[in-house]
Amino acid sequence: MSDQMESDRNASSMPLIGDQFPELEVETTHGTLSLPDEYEGEWFVLFSHPGDFTPVCTTEFTAFEQRRDEFEALDANLVGLSVDRVHSHLKWTEWIDEELDVDIDFPIIADERGRVAETLGMLHPGAGTATVRSVFLVDPEGVLRLILYYPMEIGRNIDEILRSLRALQTADDEDVAVPADWPENELFGDSRLLSPPSDEAGIRARLQAAEEEDYDCRDWWFCLDE
């Protein structure tokens, strides 16, 4: 890493992909939680919203709750966050239950002073003082694996967050990468991509495996594990 890159990295306090998620004690609608220890051995999805009692955020929270069983089937926990107070969160989720018949059952962090949002880079100067729509996927070892940002006026796509979670788990479990639009890539369907060999011996072995039809190889560097 160059001196400039190292200097830029050190100047940024927000965690990046591949970093350990920072240790935080947070107040939530489910009481005090310690992150990431609360979900040790499991994935968790932390997502922030600009504010309670706002239209787009309300649709997002109902969408997350309605898909919560799919996240739980992937051993993933949902955690919301905004810079509102716990009482505001509780009143808002009460309204959602009464008016939309959706019971929000995941914890929501009350980050009234913005400490958590600032630590995680959820406050963007150009977007005002509210938290932008951030998504963090954290793995069972507490490592940050994915970060997504959405502007205030656009609600998140829950399918894409679930797809990303499944893709990361597949990549980990099978030591592969996944193509664009996986598992519904127009050319390759749900096939996975093998990492390219790093030396000549590896190239020869890969080509031999392709001849024996162990893999579908279009070239030594582009092989699919079907």
Active site residues: 57
Q: Are 114 and 83 in contact (CB under 8 A)?
A: yes
Residue labelled with tokens 């935080």: 24
Residue labelled with tokens 């072995």: 205
Q: Which two tokens stand for residue 65?
A: 């709750």
Residues 6+ away with beta carbon under 8 Å from 187: 179
DSSP state of 177: B
Three-point CA angle 54, 59, 62, nearest 5°: 120
Instruction: List, in sequence order, the alpha helices (H) in 46-111.
Output: 55-66, 68-73, 86-100
Q: What are phi and psi of 90, to 5 degrees?
A: -65, -40
DSSP state of 132: P
Nearest to 146 by CA among 156, 157, 133, 136: 136
Nearest to 63 by CA among 39, 85, 80: 80
